[in-house]
Structures are given as structure tokens and as C-alpha cells.
Amino acid sequence: PALLTLEASVGVLGPDGARTIPIGAWFVGPRETALKTGEVVTGLSIPIPDSPHGAIYLKLQRYEGEDLSQAGVTILVTADDSYRIAFGAVGPVPSRAHEIESLLSGSALTDELIAEAQSLVPGAISPITDMRATKEYRARICEVMLERGLRAAVARRDGHGPAYGTRLI
């Protein structure tokens, strides 16, 4: 999800030449990418926000050090209260939460605004049930992660957020 919030792109080269794929179009299904037969990845472009910003990635896993996550959210907020939010490990592919971003953008963060954003989470994530978590659990934990992540990203942007590596979940 971090690459989605940073609006990264993937460079590929194949029999038909070079092309650039926005990261939002890169993931097309579970364990499936937009890479065509005969193509190889040649690079990854990650634009760095040019204005002051705060960001956070929250990952929930069952065990300390476990690689597979049950849910993840990345939030980036800029000085002008523009938000980019992406969820991962909750649906078939990582996805941006455009409706939540639109709701939040341009507004100062309040408890009421966070609650309204949380109400949009189930529609933003298309949660699945698998061996790691049920879709109901994923929907609820993503609401919690969104709240904690929003508060932490804004605090980091404002210069007094949690230290990197601090447990928020």
C-alpha cells in the first residue's frame, strides 16, 4: 500500500518495447500483476512529495516477526490536508481509498470526521476471508487502523508524531 500512496510506477521492457505502469494498475489479482509474457521489470519510480508531509504504515500480523499480514494501511497527509490512503492484505489486491481521501482532503482532522471516514472503510476495501482473518474482522480492524493511522500521520506532519517503530496496533 505504501507504493500506492506515493503514486509509484513500474518500468517494464519486453518484445513490444518499454512501458510504464502506474502502481495502481500493476496489481490485477491475487499474486497476479500486469506484467506480460516476455516482459521484465526494469525500474521503480517513486515520486517524493514536494511539500511537508507525514506518513505512516500500519501492519497487523498474528505473531511478532510474521511476514504475512492480516491487514495493512498506509496514510500520507500533506501540509494542505491532502490525503492519500491505501489498504493492503484485506482484499484481492492493494487499493487506494479514494472516497475516504476525498472526504478528508482540505479539512482539519476531527473526531467526527474520523468517524465518518471509518464508516466508509467497508466499501473501500472489499475484504476477504482467508486463513489469516475473516472479512468481518478485517473490516473492523481497518477502521481502527485508519483512526490510529490518521492521528499518527497528522502528528508526524506537524512535527510531534510517534517515533518510527512505535507500536500503534
In this structure, the answer to whether residues 39 and 58 fall within a common structural domain is no
How many angstroms separate the CA atoms of 52 and 69, rounded? Answer: 29
- Clarify whether residues 18 and 78 are in a common domain: no
Q: Which three cell numbers stand for residue 93?
A: 489486491
41 and 57 within one domain: no
27, 88: one domain: no
Planar angle of CA 120, 53, 70, nearest 5 degrees:
45
What is the predicted pLDDT for the residue at 84? Answer: 98
More confident residue, 61 or 17: 17
Residue 132 maps to a domain: yes
- Per residue in 19-78, pLDDT tens? 999 999 999 999 999 999 999 999 999 998 888 999 999 999 877 766 788 999 999 999
The pLDDT of 69-91, averaged and rounded, is 96
Please give the average per-residue pLDDT across 75-94, as a whole number: 96
Question: Within this chain, do residues 59 and 15 fall inside the same structural domain, yes or no?
Answer: no
Lowest-confidence segment of 63-72, 83-92, 136-145, 153-162 by average pLDDT: 63-72
Is residue 27 located within the same domain as residue 68?
no
Predicted confidence (pLDDT) at residue 140 exceeds the cutoff of 70: yes
pLDDT at 76: 98
- What pTM, to 2 d.p., does this model score? 0.92
Q: CB count, 10 Å around CB of 130?
A: 13
164 in a domain, yes or no? no
Task: Confirm whether 136 is domain-assigned.
Answer: yes
Judged against a pLDDT cut of 90, whether residue 10 lies above it is answered with: yes
- Residue 66 confidence (pLDDT): 66
Check whether residue 58 and residue 32 sit in a common domain.
no
CATH (domain of 37): 3.30.465.10
Residue pair 97/124 in contact by the 8 Å Cβ criterion? yes
Both 18 and 59 in one domain: the answer is no
Residue 107: which domain range? 53-157
Q: Is residue 30 part of a domain?
A: yes
Q: Is residue 169 part of a domain?
A: no
Number of domains in the chain: 2
In the chain, what's the furthest Cα-to-Cα distance?
53
On whether residue 147 sits in a domain, the answer given is yes
Mean pLDDT over the full length of the chain:
94
Q: Tell whether 70 and 9 lie within a shared domain.
A: no
- Residue 168 within a domain: no
CA-CA distance, 59 to 169, in Å (whole number)? 8
What is the reported pLDDT for 114?
Answer: 98
In a domain, 162, yes or no: no
